[in-house]
Amino acid sequence: MTSFLSTPAPMLQLSELADGQNYPTGALYVVATPIGNVADITLRALHVLALVDRIAAEDTRNTSQLLARYGISKPSIAVHEHNEKSAAERVIGHLQNGERIACVSDAGTPGISDPGARLVDAVRDAGLPVIPLPGACALTTALSAAGAWVSGFSFIGFLPTKAKQRATHLRTLANHPMALVFYEAPHRIVETTRALADAFGGERQMLIARELTKLHESLHRCTLAEGPTWLEADANRQRGEFVLVVEGAPEAQQADDAHDALLATLLEELSVKSAARIAATLTGASRNVLYERALKLGKRDEKHDDDSEAQAE
């Protein structure tokens, strides 16, 4: 079997371990590549890239240049967001002829804000195996250095670029209880951090992870209110690639949201006073507080509301 390393003994033993696994033919190998530092590639990824017959790459030129750094050269097929369906048919044709094919994106893990997922679907739908090889990913790299304020998280990736759509999307995330992870480009980083503060308020924690694994890597933790100011204080802080990790909604905000949803449903049939009383029984929250929230929901004038001037007990 092809070996890619002619290096010291421990490394050689590890490469033999990579070699020792079964690598079936007719399978698609989804291989993570570095997100900056060319050394961040696994031995098994190198083993598989050296082993496969062909590489399905987001950008064949970029991938050839990367593989040249490892002394690997392979025929390639371009699989990018504009041709993923037709390219998948070609890939499946080669797999059915018994080839092994690696799928790689320009950086990091394929399918994570990158092409690859539709190819995976098509290959699996064709009844052929898909074999993932773990490795670099900007999302997990940033999260690994975020800290204990991030327990669970949801990956959002890139937000819409138009301000109105971005604000609408962020509104839907405002009460999400888990940390949110965003990807962002340098020319939008300031306006995106501003939009985050507008949508979620200024108090939550944020990690601005820039140029991970690269020469100018920086990780800065601050509040959402501080984020745009910190970025604008030095133009260098706005350069490069970014991951933003934002703390989830505080519990009080989540409870208010759940109460409003319950009250809105109850108010479809009941007066403000009755809705507040039933919501208080169901949730254990203060009846007066719920009464005030119900009034704010703007249902005071509905036909069932015959007690708009009355106060809850």
Q: What are the φ and ψ backbone dihedral angles of 188, each rounded to 5 degrees?
A: -115, 0
Give the separation between CA 262 and CA 92, rounded to whole angstroms. Answer: 50
- In the complex, minimum distance from the CB of residue 156 to ligand SAM, in angstroms, rounded to a whole number: 11
* Residue 209 Cβ vs ligand SAM, minimum distance, rounded to whole Å: 6
Closest to 209 (Cα-Cα) out of 222, 199, 200, 198: 222
Lookup result for tokens 């371990």: 17
* Residues of this chain that bind ligand SAM (CB under 6 A): 35-36, 105, 107-109, 112-114, 137-139, 183-185, 209, 211-214, 241-243
Q: Smaller CB distance to ligand SAM: residue 181 or 266?
A: 181
> How far apart, in Å, are the Cα atoms of 93 and each of 30, 84, 131, 177?
17, 14, 17, 45
Whichever of 112 and 170 has its CB closer to ligand SAM, that residue is 112
**Residue at token pair 């403000």:** 272
Q: How far is the CB of 136 from ligand SAM (least distance, A)?
A: 7
Cβ proximity to ligand SAM, 40 vs 53, nearer residue: 40
Q: Measured between alpha carbons, how far is 27 from 129 in angstroms, rounded to an integer?
A: 5
Residue whose pair of structure tokens reads 């501080």 in the numeric block: 226
Residue 120 sits at φ, ψ, to 5 deg, of -60, -45
**Position 44: which residue type?**
R
Cβ proximity to ligand SAM, 111 vs 248, nearer residue: 111
Nearer to ligand SAM (CB atom), residue 245 or residue 290: 245
For residue 236, the minimal CB distance to ligand SAM (Å) is 15
Nearest distance in Å: CB 121, ligand SAM: 17
